Structure 1
Amino acid sequence: MTTPFGARSTAAEVIDGIDLSGRRAVVTGAASGIGIETARALAGAGAEVTLAVRNLEAGARVAEDITATTGNKRLRVAPLDLADRVSVAAFADVWDGPLDILVNNAGVMALPEGRTPEGWDRQFTVNHLGHFALARGLHGALAAAGAARIVSVSSAAHLRSPVVFDDLHFDYRPYEPMQAYGQSKTANVLFAVGAQARWAGDGITVNALSPGGIRTNLQRHVGNITAPAMAWKTPEQGAATSVLLAASPLLAGVGGRYFADCAEAVPVSRRPEDLIAMMAGVAPYALDPEGADRLWTTSERLLASD
């Protein structure tokens, strides 16, 4: 599906005219990058927005800035460390009442090799497992809203790797930061496919997206990215597709899909050499229902382990 918006659209343009008064939203990683602009757009439309962040001081500064720019005082800041199962469970356990919008925005990119106390690859844990556990923990609140939406922020980097189920945590193959990142971003799309299949009956729709190329703190481990063909976006433009999926009536009832530049992405049979085509494409393995089911079962098993 297409929309009137595109790669240059901003979050403010996408949400213009939409009233979210009475709605409640959670945005993870809302203390930096496109998370700030996603939260700002939702708050500007009248939603109560919870900034789920690791750094509470940074979150408080962002909340004050959003209130100053939107006039909305219904901003909350809550602690969330997606690499810590206890932190994720605590966030979900204290949530009270319905939840209309969950934007799984937080992420890490191209980290040096690192593992959680469980021995899991840190990128896979933060980008996928933490958000998977969060969504499951908030499922009751999302179902109670009646027509909730989950937004899973992925990346064109999912084209770098499928989910390698036989070696999720690089126990048997050399660790490569961008391959690990790509695998976690594929998992973000498969989560949307799997959750849509399971939760549509609860009125919950789930979609994934690539925000495009934005120069933010996310890329601090990558170095100086030089890509002449890349049309870099501002954070406000990078947040546009997230906000479209979170709030636009154009997406009512639409789920299990992957979007880029405010439109449904084009399937590609192989990774494009052309950077622009890569940014707008989606790999078939990322939308595979069997892969989504396998990831769901694997994720449940991991989170249930000691």
Structure 2
Amino acid sequence: MSAVTTPFGFSSTAAEVVEGIDLTGRRAVVTGASSGLGAETARSLAATGASVTLAVRDPAAGERVAKDITASTGNQDVRVAQLDLADPASVNAFTAAWQGPLHILVNNAGVMACPEQYTAQGWEWQFAINHLGHFALTTGLYDALAADGNARVVVVSSTGHQQSPVVWDDVNFAFRRYDPWLAYGQSKTAGVLFAVEATRRWAGAGITANACMPGAIYTNLQRHTGGRGSGRVPADLIKTVEQGAATSVLLAASPLLDGIGGRYFDDCNEAEVVDRRTGTLHGVARYAVDPDNARRLWPLSQDLLAHAG
């Protein structure tokens, strides 16, 4: 199975990726679309003519972004829906309210390296939002995705997944000392594994799922890590928001990805599978695309959600 390569790369913008693509009549949902990468991803999809729903925790903030997207793209079919990924009831309400087919789902929302925190169900905050909430959302929208026969799911992961595999016996840090970066890494590994297993399970319905590393971009995501002044990433490796959204938009909209699923991309190209931490922003850990790990994560996620209360 050869790696997928495209004409795009590190400096490509989302607008360049979707140039000439017409998605009129197709429907997309982007989570976390009230700022940053999510807003730019939604804007780029709206520019193709797609109907775009911004799934956001703060509807007022979402409405401001929706108006801006309509003003910049001319697309009047940009909507806002409330979604709190840390709250199973909110996720269930969103999926129950959705009507008709769904062609593109971009699981973009997330938290990074936050202080120790747990949901009402006892789930570690980053695993809950970055993985479990999106798992519940995507599986809850299965019928809508399957109705299309050619739907795509995009999981925004991170090179941070190289910080940790999924620790099967203690995903919620009940017995090990909490570490914000290990928790973040585990949650982002889970996202990649979800894309692998969703593609395998749902191939018969024509649904494909891919994960990606958008790059290093300064957005609200870095509020717990020092932001622009932290020096964690060299200045020449920092992307603009427009560049950061490019890989997500490529996976969501480009005909170059027709029929492609279960893979991980960075800089708009499929990443190399690695067996050691790279110390760079590139590469996907072998454990994150391992099909046995992917199969194991699915029932674990289902069991946690089944006992949500």
Aligned ranges 1:19-30 → 2 under 5 Å: 19-30=22-33
Q: Aligned-pair distance for 1:280?
A: 1.6
Identity across matched positions, percent:
66
Whole-angstrom CA distance in 2 between matches of 1:228 and 1:81: 33
SS in 2 for 1:173: coil
The residue that corresponds to 1:188 in the other structure is: 191
Give the aligned partner of residue 83 of structure 1. Answer: 86
* Distance (whole Å) between structure 2 residues aligned to residue 228 and residue 205 of structure 1: 34
* Aligned mate of 1:241, from 247, 250, 255: 247
- Distance across 2 between alignment mates of 1:141 and 1:184: 25
Q: Does 1:92 align with 2:99?
A: no
Q: Is the 8 A contact 1:110 1:181 kept in 2?
A: yes
Alpha carbons of 1:230 and 1:166: their partners in 2 closer, same or farther (altered >3 Å)? farther
Letter in 1 for 2:296: R
Question: Aligned in 2, Cα 1:86/1:266: closer, same or farther, shift over 3 Å?
Answer: same
**Once the 2 structures are TM-superposed, how far is the Cα of residue 229 of structure 1 from its aligned partner?**
6.5
Tell me what 1:151 maps to: 154
Pairwise CA distance, 1:225: 2.5
Indicate yes or no: 2:263 matched with 1:251.
no
Which letter does structure 2 place at the counterpart of 1:285?
A: Y
Contact 1:99–1:141, Cα closer than 8 Å, also in 2: yes
Instruction: Say whether the 8 Å CA contact 1:158–1:185 is kept in structure 2.
Output: yes
> Deviation digits for residues 80-122 of structure 1, max 9, x if unmatched?
0000000000000000000000000000001100000011101
Question: Matched residues in 1 for 2:151 and 2:248: separation?
Answer: 14
Which letter maps to 2:292? E
Unaligned runs of 5+ in 2: none
SS of 1:115's equivalent in the other structure is: coil
> 2:74 aligned with 1:71, yes or no?
yes
Tell me which moved more, 219-228 or 233-242.
Answer: 219-228
State the shift of 1:231 in Å: 1.0
Match of 1:286 among 288, 301, 306: 288
**Is this contact kept in 2: 1:213–1:230, CA < 8 A?**
no
Give matches, 1:138-217, under 5 Å: 138-217=141-220
For 1:272 and 1:291, how far apart are their aligned partners in 2? 21
4+ aligned runs moved over 2 Å, structure 1:
227-230
CA displacement at 1:200 relative to structure 2: 1.0
Q: Quote the residue 1:51 is aligned against.
A: 54
Q: Output the TM-score relative to the length of structure 1.
A: 0.98
2:306 maps to what in 1? 304
The one of 95, 117, 121 aligned to 2:120: 117
- TM (norm. structure 2) is 0.97
- CA distance in 1: counterparts of 2:149 and 2:296, whole angstroms: 28
1:13 counterpart residue number: 16
What amino acid maps onto 2:171 in structure 1? L
Shift of 1:164: 0.4
Structure 1 unaligned runs (5+)? none
Question: How many residue pairs end up in the alignment?
Answer: 302
Instruction: Output the amino acid matched with 2:134.
Output: H
Using the alignment, how far apart are the partners of 2:75 and 2:21 within structure 1? 15
RMSD, matched Cα: 0.8
Instruction: Report deviation, 1:268.
Output: 1.2
Residue aligning to 2:238: 232
* Per-residue deviation, 1:228: 2.5
